[in-house]
A and B are shown apart, each in its own frame.
Chain A
């Protein structure tokens, strides 16, 4: 019931949104719809985990062995929560952004929300694939229509990259389907596959699925679409992409790859981990050299997501729980970063750090809020990311799945140090130093941005100080996945 509502509400309100011919109404409609979705998600978090309200399963394609099966467990709940929280915040934070034919913009945003929520709640592989693509199409139109100057080329690159990955995943899913004993796409049947597929088959089918997820996250060396797309997309869409959409890749590995092909996952664990670590350090180094704020945040995102992927392959209780929590935290934090970037770009018409400076004296409210978000990005204690990254690192460090756990931890730590370097450099460049002609007439943030950033800061501190609720929410899901991932 609840997961169906989570898909239906944004889908229907998105479709209706195309017919609202006024910017104001469309914006209000989108906010209203996203708030209703949030309320339903909170209801889902509140009810008992065994409640039938959290499941739905109706006939869809009996001849193909696929059903419209959706369900919410700890893993999908925390990601649905992230999606449901992010969208109202995005709408509030970009309330003053102007779009041509805004009704189409908001309608497509809602459709992408429907696709994302569908990905997270689907418990049928074919349905999952459906939503995986459905989330992509609106984003393609959003970026190509309302993005920056090089938007068409950048978006196209993004689309082709992810589409290649998706199609390979489709082949993988079809192959797995034919090897399920009961010819079914259901998650339960997929989780039983480990007993029927030989180890050697597991090792190559792994890549069919993993490439799709790796492109989405993105993991080095498949990340090259990401900075361009983030830079060229309208900020609201960039927020969706980086806060939620990259989590689709992480989620895909946790739900549809690691438990389905545990041997393949274990066998390639070290290879993937090395790629993750290279990506983390590499992206951090590039982020240090960026002058463009959007590109800086984009590269920092690659580094952070790389750490999550690393922890999945560590196959460890605290690491797995860390991934789930950190997905949420990273989404919230990067949302905060984007809100600041959007503000700066709108006020000064530039995103170049070198052209900015001295904002702290002119916009103290903004400066305080940004510093908190930035510290969370660096994972300082008392912020939410500290909880997440602590679990991640402890998971990687104590991992028994790999013999290189110490090396991995040490090198990954390096990227955390680098992340402090570029984040603090950015704060310095933008907020301190001398004001120039451009930043002289800066005004402080207004109500809508204050609300959005305020909510984010409250969440950052709350989870940082009292992480128990999110830990409890994800515990069972992490245990369950780990029993399925047992490679011995």
Chain B
């Protein structure tokens, strides 16, 4: 509850901060303070200190899984703002509003990770989506940004419609007419065609939100058109938070009808892995490549949805952390580049050794090479499916796709290290920026060498639900 309250209040604070000060540094500092409070408030929730008791009538349920998801989202946002907050100023004049919108998104995130009824899920998804439509179009004079925003809005509205329809079906399928997800278990609700239709509609609309194939067509254009700072936010924090909600929904509501929908998830996962990885190979722009790579990574996260066991739940949290940190790091560097194509990175290692070295660690992590957090993230996804004893073909397919991903991730490394060029950044990055990148890289490596630091906590918390 702390997180929902704090993020909503701080969103309003941010809006007003734009009236009282024009200093961009001050605004950014207010946002950082807000995020620190948010992280602390969420942590307080986890250890049992609540700011106030609100009777939510069981519409929200604050378990450790959701709160951990929050913690990852807020922590990543904090790192993201520290790294790229300065670059938001270049998008337009409304810095305070951008931060306000980000806080509103986080409010939606906090609802999506802890919902207990389908209504709350819907509210959360909408609270996330609407600020994102605005952020996508934040660069008002840029036609591509406008186009992306409109496209995102139209497609998003369509998928929201599907979601509502699904919720309505499920409402009708329950015996007593209720939105509570616990009431969808088979003991209380029969698996009728109406129920399955509702379930599949929810699956499709959620798959749309996490940009899983074949519902991914909006992603490359929107990620490419949106101002790069906000692409970074959308592709990481928002995506993984919705994944936490996705897992929560299917685990709590449809966990016992798993064998009925598993095959659909398997097909979506395979399609996502294939399309994301293969299309990313042909990209010329690193930004677009990262858009497709985010689709490919979503394919891996879908494996957790398929398996839905303890390993999967631990794994999705680890995946969220490893993927977010690495992608935020790469985007932070990308924003500073003059040229977003692969050639733009040529020779970066000579100009900016720190940027190139940290970027390499992030890319290795995304590719899932051992010694980085990305390895254990992928390891967990694979072993969650192997543990179910079925769908081994999907596991093998997934690793073959992971091998394809090496191609485009390593293209950036090749450009930075082995090709000559002047791979220039727009301005000399400051010491603080470099320092933060190193911190991020260290986190990635720590997660890869000794994930016990995070996993030990996780398994303790998740299994004592």
Residues of A in contact with B (beta carbons under 8 Å apart): 60-64, 129-130, 133-134, 137, 141, 144-145, 151-152, 156, 159-160, 163-164, 167-168, 170-171, 174-175, 177-178, 208
- Across-interface contacts of A177 in B (CB, < 8 A): 383
Q: Contact between B382 and A171 (Cβ–Cβ < 8 Å)?
A: yes
Alpha-carbon separation in the docked complex, A145 to B413 (Å): 11
Q: Contact between B417 and A171 (Cβ–Cβ < 8 Å)?
A: no
Q: Which secondary structure dominates chain A's binding surface?
A: helix
Q: Contact between B403 and A167 (Cβ–Cβ < 8 Å)?
A: yes
The distance from the CB of B122 to the nearest CB of chain A, in whole angstroms, is 36
In the complex, whether B44 has a CB less than 8 A from a CB of chain A is no
Q: Contact between A175 and B403 (Cβ–Cβ < 8 Å)?
A: no
- Across-interface contacts of B451 in A (CB, < 8 A): 61
Alpha-carbon separation in the docked complex, A134 to B369 (Å): 8
Q: Contact between A170 and B379 (Cβ–Cβ < 8 Å)?
A: yes
Q: Contact between A160 and B403 (Cβ–Cβ < 8 Å)?
A: yes
In the complex, whether B157 has a CB less than 8 A from a CB of chain A is no
Set A61, A137, A163, A168: member contacting B396, Cβ < 8 A: A168
One of B62-70, B436-444, B452-460 at the interface: B452-460
Given A130-B371, A160-B407, A144–B399 Cβ distance below 8 Å? no
Alpha-carbon separation in the docked complex, A137 to B365 (Å): 13
Q: How many residues of B contact A (CB 8 A)?
A: 29
Q: Contact between B418 and A61 (Cβ–Cβ < 8 Å)?
A: no
Contact with A along B362-373 (1 / 0, CB 8 A): 001000011100
- Across-interface contacts of B370 in A (CB, < 8 A): 129-130, 133-134
- Extra pairs beyond A133-B375, A145-B418, A159-B410 (8, CB < 8 Å): A130-B370, A141-B417, A144-B418, A156-B407, A167-B402, A167-B403, A174-B382, A175-B386
Given A137-B369, A174-B386, A63–B403 Cβ distance below 8 Å? no
Q: Contact between A159 and B406 (Cβ–Cβ < 8 Å)?
A: yes
17 A–B contacts from the bound complex (CB under 8 Å): A60-B452, A61-B452, A63-B459, A130-B371, A133-B375, A134-B370, A137-B364, A156-B407, A163-B403, A167-B399, A167-B403, A170-B379, A174-B382, A175-B392, A177-B383, A178-B383, A178-B387
In the complex, whether B400 has a CB less than 8 A from a CB of chain A is yes
Contact with A along B172-212 (1 / 0, CB 8 A): 00000000000000000000000000000000000000000
Q: Contact between B386 and A133 (Cβ–Cβ < 8 Å)?
A: no
When C-beta atoms are compared, the residue in chain A nearest to B387 turns out to be A178
The distance from the CB of A243 to the nearest CB of chain B, in whole angstroms, is 24
When C-beta atoms are compared, the residue in chain A nearest to B367 turns out to be A163
- Across-interface contacts of A171 in B (CB, < 8 A): 382, 386, 392, 395-396, 399
Q: Contact between A168 and B399 (Cβ–Cβ < 8 Å)?
A: yes
Pick the 9 closest A-B CB pairs, nearest first. A167-B399, A133-B370, A164-B403, A174-B383, A130-B370, A174-B386, A144-B418, A63-B459, A163-B403
The distance from the CB of A41 to the nearest CB of chain B, in whole angstroms, is 24
In the complex, whether B414 has a CB less than 8 A from a CB of chain A is yes
When C-beta atoms are compared, the residue in chain A nearest to B383 turns out to be A174
Contact with A along B382-422 (1 / 0, CB 8 A): 11001100001001100110110011001000100110000
Alpha-carbon separation in the docked complex, A129 to B379 (Å): 12
- Across-interface contacts of A62 in B (CB, < 8 A): 452, 456
- Across-interface contacts of B392 in A (CB, < 8 A): 171, 175
Q: Contact between B406 and A163 (Cβ–Cβ < 8 Å)?
A: yes
The distance from the CB of A21 to the nearest CB of chain B, in whole angstroms, is 12
When C-beta atoms are compared, the residue in chain A nearest to B368 turns out to be A167
Q: Contact between A145 and B371 (Cβ–Cβ < 8 Å)?
A: no
Alpha-carbon separation in the docked complex, A374 to B395 (Å): 46
Q: Contact between A152 and B418 (Cβ–Cβ < 8 Å)?
A: yes
Alpha-carbon separation in the docked complex, A15 to B402 (Å): 28
Alpha-carbon separation in the docked complex, A133 to B395 (Å): 19
Q: Contact between A160 and B406 (Cβ–Cβ < 8 Å)?
A: yes
Q: Contact between B452 and A63 (Cβ–Cβ < 8 Å)?
A: yes
The distance from the CB of B56 to the nearest CB of chain A, in whole angstroms, is 33
